[in-house]
Amino acid sequence: MNSRLQLKFLKPGLHTTIQDHGREHFRAFGVPKAGPMDVASAKLANWLVGNPESAPLMEITMVGPVIKMQGQGQIAFTGAPFNINLNDYPLSMNQSIELTGQHELTIEKALKGCRCYMAVAGNWGLSSWLDSCSASPQSGRDLTPNSVIEKGSTLLIHNSEPVASRSVSRPWIEVSMPVIRVLAGPEYSTFNTAAIKEFLGGRFTISPQSNRMGYRLNSPLDNYRTPVEVISSGVVPGTIQVTHSGQLIVLLADAQTTGGYPRIANVISADQDKLAQMRPGDSFSFRLISLKEAYEVF
Protein backbone atom coordinates (compact mmCIF):
# COMPACT_ATOMS: atom_id res chain seq x y z
CA MET A 1 0.00 0.00 0.00
CA ASN A 2 1.96 2.98 -1.20
CA SER A 3 -0.52 5.26 -2.86
CA ARG A 4 -0.71 8.95 -2.31
CA LEU A 5 -2.72 12.06 -2.98
CA GLN A 6 -1.21 15.24 -4.34
CA LEU A 7 -2.87 18.60 -3.79
CA LYS A 8 -1.83 21.62 -5.84
CA PHE A 9 -3.44 24.93 -4.90
CA LEU A 10 -4.59 26.91 -7.94
CA LYS A 11 -6.18 29.46 -5.60
CA PRO A 12 -5.35 29.66 -1.88
CA GLY A 13 -8.72 30.91 -0.59
CA LEU A 14 -9.06 33.81 1.85
CA HIS A 15 -7.04 32.31 4.69
CA THR A 16 -6.24 28.63 4.50
CA THR A 17 -3.86 27.16 7.06
CA ILE A 18 -2.76 23.78 8.29
CA GLN A 19 -3.54 23.05 11.93
CA ASP A 20 -2.88 20.18 14.29
CA HIS A 21 -2.76 19.79 18.10
CA GLY A 22 -0.70 22.98 18.43
CA ARG A 23 2.03 24.01 20.88
CA GLU A 24 0.39 24.17 24.28
CA HIS A 25 3.39 22.54 25.95
CA PHE A 26 5.51 25.61 25.16
CA ARG A 27 3.34 28.25 26.79
CA ALA A 28 5.97 29.00 29.41
CA PHE A 29 8.14 30.25 26.53
CA GLY A 30 5.51 32.64 25.23
CA VAL A 31 4.42 30.43 22.34
CA PRO A 32 0.77 30.72 21.23
CA LYS A 33 -1.23 27.51 21.29
CA ALA A 34 -2.40 27.55 17.64
CA GLY A 35 -4.50 24.59 16.48
CA PRO A 36 -7.98 24.62 14.93
CA MET A 37 -10.41 27.36 16.00
CA ASP A 38 -13.37 24.95 15.96
CA VAL A 39 -11.80 21.98 17.73
CA ALA A 40 -14.84 19.68 17.66
CA SER A 41 -15.26 20.04 13.88
CA ALA A 42 -11.56 19.41 13.31
CA LYS A 43 -11.59 16.24 15.43
CA LEU A 44 -14.64 15.00 13.58
CA ALA A 45 -13.05 15.57 10.16
CA ASN A 46 -10.02 13.53 11.18
CA TRP A 47 -12.21 10.77 12.61
CA LEU A 48 -14.17 10.51 9.36
CA VAL A 49 -10.99 9.57 7.48
CA GLY A 50 -9.50 7.43 10.25
CA ASN A 51 -6.74 9.87 11.29
CA PRO A 52 -5.74 10.54 14.90
CA GLU A 53 -8.04 13.31 16.16
CA SER A 54 -5.38 16.00 16.26
CA ALA A 55 -3.60 15.10 13.01
CA PRO A 56 -2.84 17.95 10.60
CA LEU A 57 -5.76 19.20 8.55
CA MET A 58 -6.76 22.26 6.60
CA GLU A 59 -8.68 25.13 8.17
CA ILE A 60 -10.56 27.05 5.49
CA THR A 61 -11.91 30.53 6.26
CA MET A 62 -14.89 32.21 4.53
CA VAL A 63 -13.69 31.57 0.96
CA GLY A 64 -12.05 28.29 0.11
CA PRO A 65 -9.23 27.26 -2.20
CA VAL A 66 -9.28 25.66 -5.64
CA ILE A 67 -7.18 22.52 -5.60
CA LYS A 68 -5.93 20.22 -8.32
CA MET A 69 -6.09 16.75 -6.82
CA GLN A 70 -4.18 13.83 -8.21
CA GLY A 71 -3.88 10.28 -6.97
CA GLN A 72 -5.78 8.23 -4.52
CA GLY A 73 -7.11 9.09 -1.11
CA GLN A 74 -9.90 9.63 1.34
CA ILE A 75 -11.09 13.13 2.31
CA ALA A 76 -13.80 14.68 4.49
CA PHE A 77 -15.22 18.12 5.22
CA THR A 78 -16.76 19.33 8.48
CA GLY A 79 -17.62 22.60 10.16
CA ALA A 80 -19.46 25.45 8.50
CA PRO A 81 -21.34 24.50 5.32
CA PHE A 82 -19.46 25.61 2.20
CA ASN A 83 -20.34 24.98 -1.44
CA ILE A 84 -17.85 22.32 -2.44
CA ASN A 85 -17.56 20.87 -5.93
CA LEU A 86 -15.42 18.06 -7.27
CA ASN A 87 -15.17 18.96 -10.94
CA ASP A 88 -18.81 19.99 -11.23
CA TYR A 89 -20.20 17.48 -8.81
CA PRO A 90 -21.30 18.80 -5.41
CA LEU A 91 -19.80 17.10 -2.36
CA SER A 92 -21.48 16.61 1.00
CA MET A 93 -20.11 17.60 4.36
CA ASN A 94 -19.64 15.22 7.31
CA GLN A 95 -18.79 12.06 5.40
CA SER A 96 -15.70 10.38 4.06
CA ILE A 97 -15.20 10.61 0.30
CA GLU A 98 -12.97 8.35 -1.82
CA LEU A 99 -10.96 9.86 -4.66
CA THR A 100 -8.94 8.36 -7.50
CA GLY A 101 -7.50 9.98 -10.56
CA GLN A 102 -7.33 13.66 -11.35
CA HIS A 103 -9.90 16.20 -10.19
CA GLU A 104 -10.42 19.87 -9.60
CA LEU A 105 -11.79 20.57 -6.14
CA THR A 106 -13.44 23.97 -5.70
CA ILE A 107 -14.35 25.09 -2.23
CA GLU A 108 -16.46 28.19 -2.67
CA LYS A 109 -17.86 30.57 -0.08
CA ALA A 110 -19.16 29.70 3.35
CA LEU A 111 -22.95 29.49 3.04
CA LYS A 112 -23.24 30.00 6.77
CA GLY A 113 -20.70 30.18 9.54
CA CYS A 114 -17.05 30.95 9.00
CA ARG A 115 -14.68 27.96 8.95
CA CYS A 116 -14.66 24.49 7.49
CA TYR A 117 -12.12 21.71 7.88
CA MET A 118 -10.74 19.38 5.25
CA ALA A 119 -9.10 16.19 6.43
CA VAL A 120 -7.13 13.84 4.21
CA ALA A 121 -6.36 10.32 5.40
CA GLY A 122 -2.70 9.54 5.93
CA ASN A 123 0.62 11.19 6.62
CA TRP A 124 1.03 14.80 5.51
CA GLY A 125 4.80 14.74 5.92
CA LEU A 126 5.02 18.41 6.90
CA SER A 127 7.95 20.03 8.64
CA SER A 128 7.06 20.88 12.20
CA TRP A 129 8.26 23.46 14.71
CA LEU A 130 8.02 22.78 18.45
CA ASP A 131 6.24 19.49 17.80
CA SER A 132 3.50 21.00 15.67
CA CYS A 133 3.02 21.85 12.04
CA SER A 134 0.28 24.42 12.80
CA ALA A 135 0.86 27.73 11.04
CA SER A 136 2.75 29.94 13.48
CA PRO A 137 1.18 33.39 13.74
CA GLN A 138 4.62 34.91 14.26
CA SER A 139 7.41 34.19 11.81
CA GLY A 140 5.06 31.70 10.22
CA ARG A 141 6.74 31.82 6.87
CA ASP A 142 10.11 30.89 8.32
CA LEU A 143 9.13 28.34 10.91
CA THR A 144 6.23 26.57 9.28
CA PRO A 145 6.73 27.46 5.61
CA ASN A 146 4.21 24.94 4.26
CA SER A 147 1.42 25.59 6.70
CA VAL A 148 0.03 28.82 5.28
CA ILE A 149 -1.48 27.93 1.92
CA GLU A 150 -0.50 30.17 -0.98
CA LYS A 151 -1.14 30.03 -4.69
CA GLY A 152 1.03 27.22 -6.03
CA SER A 153 1.42 25.46 -2.65
CA THR A 154 1.50 21.68 -2.89
CA LEU A 155 0.85 18.93 -0.39
CA LEU A 156 1.72 15.29 -0.80
CA ILE A 157 -0.17 12.97 1.49
CA HIS A 158 0.83 9.33 1.83
CA ASN A 159 -2.26 7.24 2.36
CA SER A 160 -2.85 5.24 5.47
CA GLU A 161 -4.90 2.01 5.53
CA PRO A 162 -8.28 3.23 4.32
CA VAL A 163 -11.20 2.99 6.74
CA ALA A 164 -14.68 1.88 5.75
CA SER A 165 -16.77 4.84 4.69
CA ARG A 166 -17.93 6.94 7.67
CA SER A 167 -20.57 9.62 7.94
CA VAL A 168 -22.40 11.51 10.65
CA SER A 169 -25.53 13.60 10.74
CA ARG A 170 -24.53 17.03 11.97
CA PRO A 171 -27.05 19.59 10.79
CA TRP A 172 -25.97 23.21 10.93
CA ILE A 173 -28.09 24.98 13.50
CA GLU A 174 -28.66 28.71 13.08
CA VAL A 175 -29.49 30.58 16.26
CA SER A 176 -30.82 34.10 15.97
CA MET A 177 -29.11 35.37 19.12
CA PRO A 178 -26.38 32.97 20.18
CA VAL A 179 -25.40 32.82 23.83
CA ILE A 180 -21.75 32.38 24.68
CA ARG A 181 -21.26 30.81 28.08
CA VAL A 182 -18.49 32.15 30.26
CA LEU A 183 -16.90 31.56 33.65
CA ALA A 184 -15.98 34.48 35.87
CA GLY A 185 -12.43 35.60 35.10
CA PRO A 186 -9.64 36.37 37.57
CA GLU A 187 -10.54 40.10 37.75
CA TYR A 188 -14.33 39.66 37.48
CA SER A 189 -14.91 40.88 41.04
CA THR A 190 -12.94 44.08 40.44
CA PHE A 191 -15.52 45.35 37.92
CA ASN A 192 -18.30 47.58 39.23
CA THR A 193 -21.87 46.30 39.23
CA ALA A 194 -22.95 48.54 36.35
CA ALA A 195 -20.14 47.26 34.11
CA ILE A 196 -20.97 43.63 34.96
CA LYS A 197 -24.62 44.32 34.19
CA GLU A 198 -23.63 45.66 30.79
CA PHE A 199 -21.38 42.68 30.18
CA LEU A 200 -24.03 40.10 31.03
CA GLY A 201 -27.01 42.01 29.67
CA GLY A 202 -25.60 43.47 26.48
CA ARG A 203 -25.33 42.34 22.89
CA PHE A 204 -21.91 42.36 21.33
CA THR A 205 -20.94 42.39 17.70
CA ILE A 206 -17.71 40.97 16.30
CA SER A 207 -15.71 43.80 14.75
CA PRO A 208 -13.80 43.53 11.46
CA GLN A 209 -10.54 43.70 13.46
CA SER A 210 -10.85 40.04 14.34
CA ASN A 211 -8.74 37.06 13.44
CA ARG A 212 -7.36 33.80 14.84
CA MET A 213 -5.60 35.74 17.60
CA GLY A 214 -8.79 37.23 18.92
CA TYR A 215 -12.12 38.91 18.27
CA ARG A 216 -12.56 42.56 19.14
CA LEU A 217 -16.13 43.32 20.08
CA ASN A 218 -18.04 46.49 19.28
CA SER A 219 -19.87 48.45 22.00
CA PRO A 220 -17.41 48.97 24.87
CA LEU A 221 -18.55 48.76 28.48
CA ASP A 222 -19.61 52.38 29.12
CA ASN A 223 -19.65 51.93 32.86
CA TYR A 224 -16.09 50.71 33.02
CA ARG A 225 -14.43 53.70 34.67
CA THR A 226 -11.59 52.69 36.91
CA PRO A 227 -9.22 50.43 35.06
CA VAL A 228 -7.53 48.00 37.40
CA GLU A 229 -3.80 47.71 36.99
CA VAL A 230 -2.96 44.09 36.40
CA ILE A 231 0.62 42.91 36.57
CA SER A 232 1.14 40.90 33.36
CA SER A 233 -0.17 37.42 33.88
CA GLY A 234 -1.31 34.41 31.87
CA VAL A 235 -4.09 34.54 29.31
CA VAL A 236 -5.50 31.58 27.38
CA PRO A 237 -7.77 31.03 24.39
CA GLY A 238 -11.21 32.08 25.61
CA THR A 239 -9.96 34.81 27.97
CA ILE A 240 -11.95 38.04 27.63
CA GLN A 241 -9.79 41.09 28.25
CA VAL A 242 -11.15 44.58 28.81
CA THR A 243 -8.99 47.37 27.44
CA HIS A 244 -8.75 50.72 29.22
CA SER A 245 -11.44 52.14 26.95
CA GLY A 246 -13.79 49.33 27.98
CA GLN A 247 -13.51 47.36 24.73
CA LEU A 248 -13.82 43.60 25.03
CA ILE A 249 -11.32 41.33 23.30
CA VAL A 250 -11.94 37.60 23.24
CA LEU A 251 -8.61 35.84 22.85
CA LEU A 252 -8.55 32.80 20.59
CA ALA A 253 -6.26 30.04 19.30
CA ASP A 254 -3.32 32.19 18.15
CA ALA A 255 -3.42 34.65 21.05
CA GLN A 256 -0.31 35.65 22.95
CA THR A 257 0.30 33.93 26.28
CA THR A 258 0.40 36.89 28.68
CA GLY A 259 -1.45 40.15 29.01
CA GLY A 260 -1.89 43.10 31.33
CA TYR A 261 -5.58 43.91 30.86
CA PRO A 262 -8.15 42.77 33.42
CA ARG A 263 -9.69 39.41 32.54
CA ILE A 264 -13.42 39.75 33.08
CA ALA A 265 -14.37 36.23 32.01
CA ASN A 266 -13.36 33.12 30.08
CA VAL A 267 -15.41 31.53 27.31
CA ILE A 268 -15.92 27.82 28.00
CA SER A 269 -14.21 25.42 25.58
CA ALA A 270 -17.41 24.24 23.90
CA ASP A 271 -18.45 27.80 23.10
CA GLN A 272 -15.05 28.76 21.72
CA ASP A 273 -15.99 26.41 18.87
CA LYS A 274 -19.23 28.36 18.48
CA LEU A 275 -17.35 31.67 18.35
CA ALA A 276 -15.00 30.21 15.74
CA GLN A 277 -17.99 29.90 13.43
CA MET A 278 -19.11 33.52 13.84
CA ARG A 279 -18.07 36.25 11.45
CA PRO A 280 -17.40 39.95 11.80
CA GLY A 281 -20.85 41.56 12.09
CA ASP A 282 -22.41 38.65 13.98
CA SER A 283 -23.88 39.42 17.41
CA PHE A 284 -24.22 37.42 20.58
CA SER A 285 -24.65 37.79 24.31
CA PHE A 286 -22.81 36.29 27.28
CA ARG A 287 -24.14 34.09 30.06
CA LEU A 288 -22.28 33.37 33.26
CA ILE A 289 -22.25 29.71 34.30
CA SER A 290 -20.47 27.66 36.98
CA LEU A 291 -17.40 25.53 36.47
CA LYS A 292 -19.49 22.45 37.23
CA GLU A 293 -21.87 23.32 34.39
CA ALA A 294 -18.91 23.94 32.08
CA TYR A 295 -17.49 20.47 32.78
CA GLU A 296 -20.88 18.93 31.96
CA VAL A 297 -20.63 20.22 28.38
CA PHE A 298 -16.85 19.86 28.00
Partner 1 sequence: MTIEIQPMGDRTLLVNFAQKIDPDIHQQVMNLSAKIEGELIEGVLYISPAYCSLSIGYNPEYIKYPELSLWIKNLWKQRKKYRKIPVRVLTLPVCYEEPYALDLWEISKITGLMPEDIIETHIAKSYQVYMLGFLPGFPYLGVLPEVLQCPRKAKPRLATPERSVGIAGLQTGIYPSESPGGWNIVGNTPLPIFTGQKSTPFLLRAGDEVKFQSITKNDYEHIEGEIREGTFNWDMIYE
Sites of contact with partner 1 (CB under 8 A)? 24-32, 129-130, 136, 138-139, 142-143, 183, 185-186, 231-234, 236, 238-239, 256-258, 263, 266-269, 291, 294-295, 298
* Residue 169, φ and ψ in degrees, nearest 5: -95, 120
For residue 185, give the nearest of 270, 277, 289, 274 by alpha carbon. Answer: 289
Cβ pair 12, 66 in contact under 8 A:
no
Rounded to the nearest whole angstrom, what is the least distance from the CB of residue 138 to partner 1 in the complex?
A: 6
Nearer to partner 1 (CB atom), residue 105 or residue 251: 251
Scanning 109-264, the segments in alpha helix (DSSP H) are 140-143, 193-201
Q: Which is nearer to partner 1, 175 or 231 (CB)?
A: 231
With both helix axes pointing from N to C terminus, report the angle between 39-48 and 269-276 in degrees, rounded to the nearest 10. Answer: 80
Helices marked H in the chain — which ranges? Answer: 39-48, 140-143, 193-201, 269-276, 291-296
Across-strand partners of 118? 58, 77
Decide whether 86 or 143 has the Cβ nearer to partner 1: 143
Could you give the 3-state DSSP secondary structure of residue 202? Answer: coil
Nearest to 107 by CA among 137, 145, 149, 54: 149
Q: What's the min distance (Å) between Cβ of 240 and partner 1?
A: 10
Please report how close the Cβ of residue 220 comes to partner 1 at its closest, in angstroms. 21
Closest CB 286 distance from partner 1, rounded Å: 14
Q: Which is nearer to partner 1, 167 or 258 (CB)?
A: 258
**With respect to partner 1, which residue has the nearer C-beta, 150 or 296?**
296
Q: What are the backbone dihedrals phi and psi of residue 291, each rounded to the nearest 5 degrees, phi first?
A: -60, -35
Q: How far is the CB of 262 from partner 1 (least distance, A)?
A: 12
The least CB distance from residue 198 to partner 1, in Å, is 21
Cα 88–Cα 151–Cα 95 angle in degrees, nearest 5: 45
Residue 87 Cβ, how far from partner 1 at the closest point, in Å? 40
Length of the chain: 298
Is 236:185 a contact under the CB 8 Å cutoff?
no
Measured from the CB atom, the residue of 156 and 184 that comes closer to partner 1 is 184
* Closer CB to partner 1, 28 or 173, in the complex: 28
